[in-house]
Amino acid sequence: MTGGATPPTTPGPRRGPDHRLDHRWVGRGDCQRIASPVTGCRWTVVVMPPVDDVRPPPVPAAWLAPWFTPPARSELATGHHLRPLRAADAGLPGLPAGLDTEAVAAACVARSAFVYGAFDDEERRLLAWVTLDPGTPPHDVEVGWALTPDQVGTSLAEALLAALPDWLARSWPWTSPHVVRR
């Protein structure tokens, strides 16, 4: 090769100790744009986490947009309100047996599921609850609701049932909820 550029002395991509190709990362997240240090070619690859990675299970893409903020409180016609259950709610009368409020709060923070409680202004006991979980096609969310036994047949039961469709349409981004009584 006379008078021209010298050939690259760096060999092609090498496998590093973590068994991924030794390329320069130019993106972030699970889908990455990478560029070869040798050829400069760019392409998109999906990076799989190591097997021992203990991330929470993935949430379906259509579940919630990253910009969406779940409602903090919703008023009911009876003067009661809905709000997300918190870890501090452990021990409240009316909680379903075996409900782990810490796990419920963690799922809410991770945006993988939501549990809202119906309370009066004093919030001394849970009166009803609404669960929101990823749905299965054709539904984008499965909404469950239940009442404590002493609230069955009360005005709260009627108000909750009447408010759910509007609350889902006004406060959440889903378009095809599946509502079931638990």
Let me know if residue 9 belongs to a domain: no
Let me know if residue 41 belongs to a domain: yes
Residues 46 and 132 in one domain: no
Residues 29 and 98 in one domain: no
Let me know if residue 84 belongs to a domain: yes
Structure letter (DSSP) for residue 125: S
Report the number of distinct structural domains present in the chain: 2
pTM of the predicted model as reported, rounded to 2 decimal places:
0.66
AA identity, residue 160:
L
Neighbour-count burial of 90, counting CB atoms closer than 10 A to its CB (0-12 exposed, 13-18 middle, 19+ buried): middle
Residues 162 and 88 in one domain: yes
Per-residue pLDDT of the chain (182 residues; tens, 9 = 90+): 445 444 445 444 444 444 444 333 333 344 445 455 554 555 544 444 455 545 555 555 557 888 899 999 999 999 999 999 999 999 999 998 889 999 999 999 989 999 999 999 999 999 999 999 998 889 989 999 999 999 999 999 999 999 999 999 999 999 999 998 87
